Structure 1
């Protein structure tokens, strides 16, 4: 069903201490979340009702979105809504959703439930049943409990046929303005139904609400998935005076033979990070046939992998390297290796593990023919959409 929408963004935000619709949330103004959601859900026109001193901000705040206009709000919510409704064009019986900009996390499923309800009822309101214990009282004294059976927390958007809500607001005769449009429509004799709301559709009211909203916004904008990659590398021993392992040079009577500096620990870890991203292996990025990498320090390979992860919005969580060898002794150098890996990976020290083991003189490592390294890396990445 095609529909129109009015987004109320004219409040002063006295309890939050800021004008809530214009505060940045997840990298964009609060009001943009709602306008974007309504347009994506199929709104043919969205009217944003704002205070006079905010009207000039519309083109910047809603840049890139099409199908919206801004009008100046009134002294009360009811007056602001009436002005927004008056600005809408088209048939009077068209469905209209009236939404508070301070409820940014509007889901398409809620909109669909509201529009479906209008096939049968004069209005529809998303709501959640009250689940907390309700009490009367003052700041200093706890009063009687209130039976929560049949009590609901009303949310927005609220849905009506445009003529229904326009007439209800015009005919309102209460001493005070209606708390919302549903109250006015009910007072005019209309039938308003509750549909299932959404816990995420909470209203930004107090400063602490923005802390929770920011965390939710980050999750909605870039849902993260955890991945684990593993790497394995082997190099043979040959003549030399030192060996590089996990970015640390160790004096030794042999060295590891390879095209680069043959740091098996860094090679394995680089492959683990690339593997977690599904980004090939170290040979794809640094081919051993390329003379450019002959004798190269392997720390640049690891830095490359970490940078590619960051470029995709990923985060390296922890790394774990196991060196498999009979020689040299790793324990005296282990803390230095951990510190170097933490530096290269941008991790805290407690997120880096370096271990060593032997193969009890079995196999090529047991015969001192070579050294092996195994690594595991945990990353988080934005979920593919």
Structure 2
């Protein structure tokens, strides 16, 4: 079975003073979260589409989905304190509700990347059937500088550098095993889900993302997203 998990647990601190969490802000005629969910509803191969959000926002999320989405595969559950806790809450829900088979997979995506394309979703599904972990990336355009406290320590060759996006997709049993092998110290600093598998020695396959698959994190990002939506309406 293949499952989708929409990660909507972020607090949105970089969005500034807004009346609600960034994933619930309007983008054109619909909230950002709804536009993201609608892309996944189009994929018939998903057994369930799990939206994971903060506990205080579960009712609001369910109300939005009831208003905009008619697909019964979409369910809402409570997230965790950190991103990977939220991810594992979704995995626990899958295991409890459906059980787990060796080849079950999950396609995880940021709720605030509403411009995800069918091609990217297809590529993730096809790749995770053959690889334990899959990351969506685009080649780095700018030079990457590694440093700490205003001191550059390394400038890697840009040809080998990529910018990570989502979806990130996993064989569920491999992800669970890798996560359970992490120390508490590793979990505390882990900001990327694919790194769970890398730390466990699993290979991470890469598929091509799109520059347009932006993450709406700041007020500037929201302005860009609004411009994209308005341009599509005009066209």
TM-score, length-scaled by structure 2: 0.85
Post-superposition CA distance 1:291-316 (Å, at most 9, x none): xxxxxxxxxxxxxxxxxxxxxxxxxx
Quick one: structure 1 residues 141 and 106, their matched pair in 2 at CA, closer, same or farther if it must change by over 3 Å?
same
- Compared CA separation, residues 145 and 184, structure 1 to 2 (3 A): closer
More strand by share: 1
Q: 1:168–1:184: 8 Å Cα contact kept in structure 2?
A: yes
Which runs of 5 or more structure 2 residues have no equivalent in the other structure? none
- 1:363 corresponds in structure 2 to none
2:63 aligns with: 60
Structure 1 residue runs of 5 or longer lacking an equivalent are 225-385
Q: Secondary structure at the match of 2:75?
A: strand
Secondary structure in 1 matching 2:120: helix
Question: Structure 1 pair 185/138, CA: closer, same or farther in 2 (3 Å)?
Answer: closer
CA distance in 2, matches of 1:38, 1:112: 10
What is the deviation of 1:60?
Answer: 2.4
Q: Give matches, 1:101-250, under 5 Å.
A: 101-135=111-145, 145-173=155-183, 175-177=185-187, 178-220=190-232, 222=233, 224=235
Q: Deviations over 1:173-219 (max 9, x none)?
A: 26142222211112222221111011111111211000000111234
Cα distance in 2, alignment partners of residues 16 and 217 from structure 1: 19
Q: Please tell me whether the aligned partners of residues 124 and 192 of structure 1 are also in contact (alpha carbons under 8 angstroms).
A: yes
Over 3 Å counting, the alpha-carbon distance change for 1:160 and 1:53 in structure 2 is same
Q: Distance in 1 between matches of 2:151 and 2:166?
A: 32
Higher helix content, 1 or 2:
2
Alpha-carbon distance in structure 2 between the residues aligned to 1:73 and 1:46:
14
**Cα RMSD for the two superposed structures:** 2.3
What displacement does 1:10 show? Answer: 1.1
| C-alpha distance in 1 between matches for 2:33 and 2:159 | 34
Rounded Cα–Cα distance in structure 2 between residues aligned with 1:48 and 1:150: 34
Asked if 1:82 is matched to 2:88, the reply is yes
**Is the 1:78–1:169 contact (alpha carbons within 8 Å) kept by the matching residues of 2?**
no
Q: TM-score, normalised by structure 1?
A: 0.54
| Matches of 1:143 and 1:167, distance apart in 2 | 34
Do the aligned residues in 1 keep the contact of 2:62 with 2:76 (CA within 8 Å)? Answer: no
Structure 2 Cα separation of the partners of residues 206 and 176 of structure 1: 27
CA distance, structure 2, for counterparts of residue 143 and residue 114 of structure 1: 34
Match of 1:48 among 43, 51, 71: 51
CA distance in 2, matches of 1:141, 1:192: 30
Q: What secondary structure does 2:51 align onto?
A: strand
